[in-house]
Chains A and B, each alone.
Chain A
Amino acid sequence: MQFHSLLTMGIFENLWGILLADASSHAFGPALGLSVHDLGVMRGARSVLAGLSFDVTAGEALIVAGPNGAGKSTLLRSLAGLLPLCAGHITLSGVGAPDEDGDIDHARYVHYLGHKDGLKSALTAAENLNFWAAMMARDSSLGLFANKALTSTEALARMGLAHALDVPVAYLSAGQTRRVALARLLVAHRPIWLLDEPTTALDTASQLRVRDIMCAHLGEGGIVIAATHTELGLSSARELNLRPLTSGASS
């Protein structure tokens, strides 16, 4: 799929989102929307992403596809605010109050789960999740999703790991560790999920659990942007195809 067709599609869906906003009052407010315009990212001296534009609105999933080295992880990291942009801008609407520049810091509203799990192998699954729940807790004065977060026990149960609560992460298998990492999405709620290969090492049953929590998140009006090579089983997902840039040239 070409970028420009995606862009127009995005605009139409954005309009739909605004039109539908009054009818369906989502948990995250009326018109949550992430809009990326003319994004460019450099890694070292190499341009990895250039001229990338798309819109995602509440309740929508965007699957980022493309061959290895196409910039999928780079896109997710830049959306998470971990990489500086060299061109373009990312705007977020429908949450929080803009700061003095009129911008909303989008990085505050994303949950980034990369290739690495962000878990300490010496701590138990519950200790890890309790830490992240405390660390990523949000002041309820923001008025958003303050009451959405699950406890560590509930989150692990959702991922089918209730028995692993007091097991050090070092003793868990690769798939179980990944599931603990995914449970982090549930203990601290953010409206936008950025998932890099979320189903790595997961068995079929766990992949279905991941689909379930993503569907639940979308149903509450959240946004999921996932980079993956496998089918996530989301019926309404749009796809964004990235191609590797030839070095030095911008597309």
Chain B
Amino acid sequence: MMAMIQALFLRDIRLARRVGGGATLGVVFFLILITIMPFAIGPDLVLLARIGPAVLWIAALLATLLGLDRLFQSDCDDGSLDALRASDLPLEVIVLVKCLAHWMMTGLPLVVAAPAFGVMLGLEPDALWGVTVSLLAGTPALTCLGAIGAALTVSLRRGGLLLAILILPFSIPVLIFGVSAAEAASGGTIPFATPFLILCALSLMALVLAPLAGAQALRQMDE
């Protein structure tokens, strides 16, 4: 079983690296979102530093959605999904492994890039640290929630927009606690641990929910 998980994980990583740039594309999109923000808001460093964590979180949310619609659709289109379902690996585990591989290639690069992009928004070191840690804890939840949407829209040709409409409302709790954890790190009335632990809980819940709901949605696809 571990050999199967490894084979699937490595295949998805390899595909992400070969097709469409994978990791770099998401980070470049993230960078562009961060870069255009001061143009819209104006060069007020105090204001930018204050809303910086929220800007980084919204940009990360949008960058995570990028490419998520193809998570199962590419496998469905070329028939791989039928064959995957015939393997001994439960469909729930397949969904989980694909989520992890996708997060490694899109979510993790965003976390790594976040401190550098935070400097562009004039964030203090404390806030930089808070944003990075909260993104590390929160982006798995975004990927997992998105995977449910990807499984539901797997047979739709233009499912990307529908996926965003379905998933963005459910990502609001993650956004609230992610941003408040990031802001709590740079001083505030609440301790950092309070929103951060809730954020971790949301991620763990999504990690459990996504394989179950995703697998069920994929099974219903044929009917």
21 residue pairs A–B, Cβ–Cβ below 8 Å:
A43-B223, A44-B223, A77-B222, A80-B86, A82-B82, A83-B223, A108-B88, A112-B83, A116-B82, A117-B78, A118-B78, A118-B83, A120-B15, A127-B14, A130-B7, A131-B7, A131-B8, A134-B3, A135-B7, A135-B89, A138-B88
Decide if A118 touches B82 in the complex (CB within 8 Å): yes
Q: Could you tell me if B88 and A134 are in contact, using CB atoms closer than 8 angstroms?
A: no
Interface status of B35 (Cβ within 8 A of chain A):
no
Taken together as a complex, chains A and B put the C-alpha atoms of A131 and B6 apart, in Å, by 10
| Inter-chain contacts of A80 with B (CB < 8 A) | 82, 86
Q: Is B126 an interface residue (CB 8 A)?
A: no
Query: Which A residues are CB-close (under 8 A) to B188?
Result: none
> For the complex, would chain B's binding face be called helix, strand, loop or mixed by DSSP majority?
helix
User: Which 10 pairs across A and B sit closest by C-beta, in order of nearness?
Assistant: A116-B79, A134-B7, A118-B79, A122-B18, A118-B83, A118-B80, A135-B87, A131-B11, A122-B19, A136-B87
Chain B CB within 10 Å — which of A83, A112, A122 has the most?
A: A122
A12 CA to B86 CA in the complex, in Å? 31
Q: Is the interface of A mostly helix, strand, loop or mixed?
A: loop
Question: How distant is the Cα of A44 from the Cα of B223 in the complex, in angstroms?
Answer: 6
8 Å CB contact of A117 from B3, B4, B79, B223: B79
A119 and B222 within 8 A (CB): no
- The residues of B with any CB-CB pair to A shorter than 8 Å are 3-4, 6-8, 11, 14-15, 18-19, 77-80, 82-89, 222-223
Residues of chain A touching chain B, judged by Cβ–Cβ distance below 8 Å, are 43-44, 77, 80-84, 107-108, 110-112, 114-123, 127, 130-132, 134-139, 184
Residues in B neighbouring A43, C-beta threshold 8 A: 223
> In the docked arrangement, what's the CA distance between A43 and B222, Å?
8
Find the B residue at minimum CB distance from A77. Answer: B222
Given A77-B222, A83-B222, A138-B88: A123 touches B11 (CB 8 Å cut-off): yes
New A-B contacts (14) at CB < 8 Å, excluding given A110-B86, A134-B4: A43-B223, A44-B223, A81-B86, A112-B82, A116-B78, A118-B79, A119-B78, A119-B80, A122-B15, A122-B18, A123-B18, A132-B83, A134-B7, A136-B83
Q: A107, B15: Cβ atoms under 8 Å?
A: no
Most buried by B among A80, A123, A132, A135: A135
Return A48 CB to nearest CB of chain B, in Å: 12
A-B contact count (CB 8 A): 76
Does B18 contact A111, Cβ atoms closer than 8 Å?
A: no
Q: Name the residue on A nearest B4 (C-beta).
A: A135
Contact indicator A82/B3 (Cβ below 8 Å): no
Min CB distance B21 to A, Å, is: 12
CB neighbours of A115 from chain B (8 A): 79
**Alpha-carbon distance A212/B4, docked complex (angstroms):** 30
- Which chain B residue has the least Cβ–Cβ distance from A108? B88
Which residues of the other chain, A, contact B87 by a CB distance below 8 angstroms?
135-136
Are A135's CB and B84's CB within 8 A? yes
List chain A residues, Cβ under 8 A from B80: 118-120
Q: What CA separation (Å) do A126 and B38 show in the bound complex?
A: 49
Judging by beta carbons under 8 Å apart, are B78 and A136 in contact?
A: no
CA distance A130 to B80 in the complex (A): 14
- With both beta carbons as reference points, the residue of chain A lying nearest to B74 in the complex is identified as A120
Contact across chains for B86 and A123 when beta carbons are under 8 A apart: no
B83, B84, B88 — which one has the most chain A CB atoms within 10 A of its CB? B83
- Selected from B6, B11, B223, the residue in CB contact (under 8 A) with A120 is B11
Query: A43 CA to B7 CA in the complex, in Å?
Result: 33
B166 to chain A, nearest CB (A): 22
For the complex formed, measure the closest distance between the CB of A172 and the CB atoms of chain B, giving whole angstroms. Answer: 13
